Amino acid sequence: MDSSQPAVNLQRLQQIFDRRADAFAAVHFLPREVAQRMHERLKCVKLMPQRILDAGCGLGDDLLALQARFESAQIYGLDVSHQMLVRALAATGAPRLGWRGRIADTLYRTVNFNRPFISQLRKVFQPRPRQTVQADFANLPFAANTFDLFWSNLALHWHTRPDQVLPEWRRVLKTGGLLMFSLLGPDSLCELRAAWRHADAQTPQARVLDFTDMHDFGDMLAASGFEIPVMEMEKLTITYPSPAALLNDVRRWGAYPFTGERRPLGLTSRRLQQELVGGLEAQRRADGKIPLTFEIIYGHAWKVAERTTAEGYAIVRPDEITKATKQK
């Protein structure tokens, strides 16, 4: 029996995260941990972006982190869920001041002369306002060549057609722009899949999201026109004192997005519930904890200048002609 299912359609996904927006804060420790590791990787890249898009911004934590890192950048947050965006706006509505903003703010409060000038100075040095928009990853409401940095933390695995998403992401990146993302890999929630096989072996019904392999995403990046793709993978394990605690977190993460006639976990039979709990209990470790594995895939790639026209003709730039002439 296959214990997985593909990502859900856009409307269903919006409903799932609209309903779970309030509860999501209880499990945002996982995306926060992954975001921190993404930022460590970003330190190795020389980049001073002026416009940044965070796709799948959720509750807005990455909007704040990116603004703190790139104080002068204009940050856009995008999500499929309206309720997530409402909470992101509430969380990021008062921009945090960087060192330049703090200097201007201090001058405004302590210097008695020329207050209007100092007020203008404070406005100039404060971070630009963050903006949010609700949209599909594969149909972005932005012009081509808009962003210097495209950031997406644990969001892309939700989309049904990542092969259509990546070309769209490349479209809105400027030449020389960087795509940096993370997502869940196929070994995520393996303990839960095993428990479902134990509970529901007679019913060939998918219970847990199916996640795409890292190498497939690498191929999609190349097919979408991205250059110098780098893919990495690591596994993180979260432990729980009980099956109930584990399942509550999985619900909050949205890993039960049932479609069609499939019923959510809360509506399954009592027998299945008991069997599922038994399957999780069987995996309890010697330390008394029940593990839950997350395979985290990290990727980044660049948008470089086009090498061919839409008609297939090679593009030769003046600097390339100069180099070829010098070599002769």
Q: What is the pLDDT of residues 9-53, one digit of tens each?
A: 788 889 889 988 988 988 989 999 999 999 999 998 989 999 999
Better-predicted residue by pLDDT, 76 or 272: 76
What average pLDDT does range 128-134 have in this prediction? 78
Distance CA 55, CA 38 (A): 14
Task: Report which of residues 287 and 102 the model is more confident about.
Answer: 287
Question: In this structure, how many other beta carbons lie within 10 angstroms of the beta carbon of residue 13?
Answer: 20
Output the pLDDT for position 310: 57
Q: How far apart are CA 138 and CA 13, in angstroms?
A: 14
Q: Which residues pair with 290 in a beta bridge?
A: 240
Q: How confident is the model at residue 140, as a pLDDT? A: 96
User: Of all residues in the chain, what percent carry a pLDDT higher than 70?
Assistant: 73
Distances from the Cα of 110 to the Cαs of 99, 103, 113, 114, 122, in angstroms?
A: 16, 10, 9, 11, 13
Report pLDDT for 91: 84
- Would you state the pLDDT for residue 196? 87
Checking if the pLDDT of 124 tops 70, the result is: no
The Cα diameter of the chain in Å comes to: 80
d(CA 187, CA 292): 10
Picking from 41, 31, 40, the residue whose alpha carbon sits closest to that of residue 63 is: 31
Instruction: Report which residue type is found at 148.
Output: D
Mean pLDDT, rounded, for 311-321: 54
Residue 262 vs residues 17, 207, 229: alpha-carbon distances, Å: 18, 8, 37
Structure tokens at 15: 């409903």
Q: Who contacts 247 (Cβ-Cβ below 8 Å, separation ≥6)? A: 265, 276, 280
What one-character-per-residue DSSP string does 109-163 give?
HH--S-HHHHHHHHHHHSPPPPEEEE-BTTB-SS-SS-EEEEEEES-GGG-S-HH
159: Cβ–Cβ under 8 A, 6 or more apart, which residues?
A: 7, 137, 138, 165
Q: Which CATH superfamily is domain 4-93+130-185+209-238+297-327 in?
A: Vaccinia Virus protein VP39 (3.40.50.150)
| Per-residue pLDDT tens over the stretch 209-257 | 789 999 999 999 999 999 999 999 999 999 999 999 999 999 888 765 4
> What is the reported pLDDT for 93?
72
203 vs 3: CA distance, rounded Å: 10
All structural domains of the chain with their residue ranges:
4-93+130-185+209-238+297-327
Q: pLDDT grade, residue 127 (50/70/90)?
A: very low
